[in-house]
Structure 1
Amino acid sequence: MYEIMETDLTAEAYKPLLNRMCDVCDTFTFAVLPKCMMGKPSVTLCRILEELEPYLKEIVHTNGTRANLFDSHMSVPNYEYHLCKESQDVLLRAAESIFHWQQPALPEDLTFLKKGKEYFVTNAHEGYAMLFAEDRYLAELRGTKWNKTE
């Protein structure tokens, strides 16, 4: 596994990183935390959910996001989407950093899956992300500094 900190990812690397995720993965997911935790969702968050509606696969309720677990009594909707050119365009327009994917402005903890397995998981409010695969393109991507954690 590899980890990248928010301080080790430049703004210029965001779009190439996101494009790579879209080339390699087939699904992305994020959570929308309950109002009791985050207050009313922002207009931007609601707009993104609306734009992504045609690509929605399912909503799974768990007690957290892919990066964080909460109390067992919490119910957090995790939205899972088909990754295609159109949904990729929404993601690219929505933010300027992988670490901007946090509420209240955006959904929480953008994650990419490949064949149902976690490929890249963000913990945006903590300022780090995890890559669960060897990916030479990302390892050599200008503006990134990855740390092997195993």
Structure 2
Amino acid sequence: MLEINNQDIKGQDYEALLELALKKCDCFAFVQRKDMMEDESVIMKLHNNLVEPIQKSLIKVNEQSSWIVTSLLEGTAYVFYYELNEETKNFLLSSSDSLFDWNRPPLPEDLMFFKGNQIWLASCSHERFFIINDDYKHIGELIEEIRSIKKR
């Protein structure tokens, strides 16, 4: 995995990243950390209102203490897994215009994309880094592929 620090993907590049993810991945996930919730019922109500448009694409919700970019010392988080399709891509695009905007509040955090059980890209928004699979040897290769999507 290649780790990219302090290089957010924003605006048109973010839109192209989502197009590329749609071509390469079949699932995405994001996280609501229970240890960061002052009132779980209020946070989950806000979360459910946010994701209501894509609820039919929900695959599963796991309660986990770790995921690809984070291991909690204590507590757990809800990790929501969704099908990646045109509708959910549009949701991701309308909810944010930046990879690092996926941070609480108001959005869930740590946006991740998968092909089957393999991670393609995972962000840790509050620490401002993301990892990408071994298809890319450096950030320039990813940006080049993103920008080639924008030209089409």
TM interval, short-chain normalised: 0.7 to 0.9
Q: Report the Cα distance in structure 2 between the residues aligned to 1:137 and 1:43, rounded to whole angstroms.
A: 40
- How many matched pairs? 140
TM-score under structure 1 length normalisation: 0.81
Cα RMSD (Å): 2.3
TM-score under structure 2 length normalisation: 0.80
Instruction: Give the helix-richer structure, 1 or 2.
Output: 2
Judge which range, 49-58 or 38-47, deviates more: 38-47
Corresponding residue for residue 48 of structure 1: 50
Taking a change above 3 Å as real, the CA distance of residues 76 and 13 of structure 1, as seen in their structure-2 partners, is same
State the 1:137 CA deviation. 6.5
Secondary structure of the 2:70 match is: coil
State the 1:3 CA deviation. 2.8
Q: Report the Cα distance in structure 1 between the residues aligned to 2:84 and 2:8, rounded to whole angstroms.
A: 26
Unaligned runs of 5+ in 1: 143-150
Taking a change above 3 Å as real, the CA distance of residues 29 and 132 of structure 1, as seen in their structure-2 partners, is same
State the 1:115 CA deviation. 1.3
Q: For 1:62-101, what per-residue CA distance to the aligned partner results, in whole angstroms no more than 9, with x for missing partners?
A: 11343111124x1211111111111111111000101000
Q: Report the Cα distance in structure 1 between the residues aligned to 2:8 and 2:73, rounded to whole angstroms.
A: 31
Question: What is the identity, as a one-letter code, of the residue corresponding to 1:115?
Answer: G
Unaligned runs of 5+ in 2: 148-152
